[in-house]
């Protein structure tokens, strides 16, 4: 009867019932169904074996238990907790009551193997005793009817989980910070060694942390680059170059809201920074805010009218908004700066077709 299968838990960490336990509970309610006149007419004489009001005492216990089941939350009162704590014993008692009623009401049939009810009564008794054995022996049933946490316990557990997650995140970040970026005996490795030496002398050297981040990004180690850039930001929170880099890195990590925040901080500190506006426009595009993205693409072009990427992205956004003429003008600007630009030509041909 014991099972080693993994058992799902709810959001409070309480074990959830498996299918067999659900069947045990709803089979225990079968007497109510058999007592319904329509059901009795449908099943005929079979219902006479189980259709007796005395069974309703056990059914009532299961109904109370199921009601408690659906109120198994940290804010539940003492009564619910007590019922639940003894839920397994209550279910066992219900099935013992069912078996006792079955024997008492049908003892004549059980003593005579030729009686027409001997088979049905025997089968029902076997089911009752199998259910009792399952409830007694199953470790999963014991787990389900364990005490569920109080509200303050849930809060403490959440805090503990948050602290554990923070510690784990910090440990992973430390590992990425100390991990080598470049291969040994290369020019990049020598540059990395110089930067790490600077950091050893002055751990608050934001520029050294930033250059390590750029180096990691160039080595396609984006996770490490993000950690190193954040380290640089922690020592120089008002540096627009660090902020615009964090905007692009977090965008590439699909942390779009965070990217927009970094980008907005960057352009606020450096209103004429072409790259800061471009990175923010890209983040706003991913953030599904095309109107603000268009504004920042225009700011890029205002600072540098020859920025092909800004013109191209502007044309794509305008085309998506069905602003055909404006989109064509932006694409013409791309082709004027870079004749034969394939993406611009393809989009323009599609708009003109």
Q: Is residue 46 part of a domain?
A: yes
The Cα–Cα gap between 141 and 330 comes to 67
For residues 226 and 142, membership in a common domain is answered with no
For residues 224 and 109, membership in a common domain is answered with no
For residues 25 and 93, membership in a common domain is answered with yes
- Predicted confidence band of residue 12 (pLDDT cuts 50, 70, 90): low
pLDDT digits (tens, 9 = 90+) for 59-110: 889 898 888 888 777 777 778 888 888 889 999 999 999 899 888 888 888 8
For residues 32 and 144, membership in a common domain is answered with yes
Q: What is the pLDDT of residue 153?
A: 55
Q: What is the number of structural domains in the chain?
A: 2
**Pair of tokens at residue 154:** 């849930």
DSSP conformation class of 55: G
Q: Is residue 309 part of a domain?
A: no
Number of helices and strands (H, E) in the chain?
21, 0
Q: Is residue 326 part of a domain?
A: no
The Cα–Cα gap between 5 and 14 comes to 16
Q: What is the CATH number of the domain that holds 193?
A: 1.25.40.10
The Cα–Cα gap between 349 and 262 comes to 36
The Cα–Cα gap between 177 and 171 comes to 10
For residues 129 and 188, membership in a common domain is answered with no
pLDDT digits (tens, 9 = 90+) for 180-193: 888 777 888 889 89
For residues 71 and 24, membership in a common domain is answered with yes
- 265 contacts 275 by C-beta, under 8 angstroms: no
- Domain extent for 211: 176-237
Q: Is residue 256 part of a domain?
A: no
| DSSP conformation letters of 278-307 | HHHHHHHHHTT-HHHHHHHHHHHHHH-TT-
pLDDT top residue among 84 and 156? 84
Last residue in a domain, options 193, 210, 237 = 237
Q: Is residue 100 part of a domain?
A: yes
């Amino acid at each position: 009867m014991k099972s080693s299968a993994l058992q799902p838990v709810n959001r409070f960490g309480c074990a959830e019932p498996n299918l067999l336990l659900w069947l045990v509970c709803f089979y225990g309610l079968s007497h109510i169904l058999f007592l319904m006149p329509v059901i009795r007419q449908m099943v005929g004489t079979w219902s006479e074996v189980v259709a007796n009001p005395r069974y309703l005492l056990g059914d009532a216990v299961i109904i109370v238990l199921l009601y408690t089941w659906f109120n198994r939350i940290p804010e539940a009162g003492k009564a619910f907790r007590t019922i639940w704590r003894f839920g397994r014993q209550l279910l066992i008692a219900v099935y013992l009551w069912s078996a006792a009623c079955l024997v008492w009401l049908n003892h004549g049939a059980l003593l005579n193997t030729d009686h027409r009810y001997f088979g049905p009564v025997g089968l029902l008794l076997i089911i009752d005793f199998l259910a009792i054995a399952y409830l007694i022996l199953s470790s999963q049933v014991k787990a389900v009817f364990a005490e569920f946490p109080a509200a303050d316990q849930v809060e403490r557990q959440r805090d503990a989980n948050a602290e554990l997650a923070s510690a784990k995140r910090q440990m992973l970040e430390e590992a990425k910070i100390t991990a080598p970026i470049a291969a040994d005996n290369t020019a990049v490795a020598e540059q990395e060694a110089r930067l790490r030496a600077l950091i050893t002398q002055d751990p608050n050297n934001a520029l050294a942390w930033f250059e390590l981040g750029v180096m990691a990004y160039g080595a396609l180690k984006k996770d490490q680059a993000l950690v190193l850039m954040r380290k640089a930001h922690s020592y120089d929170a008002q540096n627009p170059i660090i902020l615009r880099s964090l905007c692009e890195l977090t965008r590439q990590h699909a942390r779009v809201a965070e990217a927009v925040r970094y980008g907005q901080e960057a352009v606020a500190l450096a209103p004429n920074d072409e790259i800061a506006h471009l990175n923010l426009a890209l983040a706003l595009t991913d953030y599904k805010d095309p109107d603000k993205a268009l504004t920042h693409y225009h700011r890029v072009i205002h600072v540098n009218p020859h920025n092909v990427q800004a013109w191209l992205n502007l044309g794509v956004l305008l085309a998506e908004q069905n602003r055909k003429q404006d989109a064509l003008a932006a694409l013409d600007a791309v082709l004027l700066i870079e004749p034969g630009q394939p993406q611009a030509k393809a989009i323009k041909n599609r708009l003109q077709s």
